[in-house]
Amino acid sequence: MHSKSATAYFPAKVAVVLIGYFMTVIAARRTKDAITFAADSILVAGYLKATEKEVIYNKLFQQNEMVIGSTGTGYEGTMMELFSRNHRPVDDSRLSVIDFFVEFRDWINKRDAGHSPNNDYLIAYDKKLFRTYGGLDIYEVPEFEAVGAGEDFAKAALHLGHSPREAVEVACKLSIYCSKPIAEITVAL
């Protein structure tokens, strides 16, 4: 499950479970020629939404022969950006990608024992596209995928043949948790 739950108590002493998805959307499509990613730029802190001029955290980045899109906390995404500078899977197999994330967990726990990695990721490596679900539930994506609060809107657009950019535009129009401007990265295969 890619949502987070929190329990809130109201004066009537009724417990209500509030469900909130990671506030963003990242979409990717794999073709025979390329893997293309697109991401919105929303940054949410509590009840505040940052504007594009205030956004420092980059949820979509390319380095060390990988493209990585991260939904969840900016803290964990930044830690992944640091980790992936000099770490990558040993090959293009699903098990190597799982091992990469096991190494990331070990690496982050050495720096912050109180943090348990839980972001969702899209990662392109060695001509393949993978999706994670908040941990080690990882699979190879055959054609397209989206993650984040706007993922259902983006997946529908991708299913209808739209580009990742167009899919993110749809999510930005329909979800209050997604916002322009849109960043893109394409890697040739």
Q: What is the pLDDT along the chain (189 residues), one digit of tens a residue?
A: 444 444 444 444 443 333 344 689 999 999 999 999 999 988 877 777 775 555 556 799 999 999 999 998 888 999 999 999 999 999 999 999 999 999 999 999 999 988 888 899 999 999 999 999 877 899 999 999 999 999 999 999 999 999 999 999 999 999 999 999 999 999 999
Supply the pLDDT for residue 46. 73
Supply the pLDDT for residue 54. 53
Q: Does domain 23-188 have CATH number 1.10.4080.10?
A: no
Supply the pLDDT for residue 23. 83
3-state secondary structure string across the chain: CCEEEEEEECCCCCEEEEEEECCCEEEEEECCCEEEEEECCCCEECCEECCCCCCCCCCEEEECCEEEEEECCHHHHHHHHHHCCCCCCCCCCHHHHHHHHHHHHHHHHHHCCCCCCCCEEEEEECCEEEEECCCCCEEECCCEEEEECCHHHHHHHHHCCCCHHHHHHHHHHHCCCCCCCCEEEEEEC
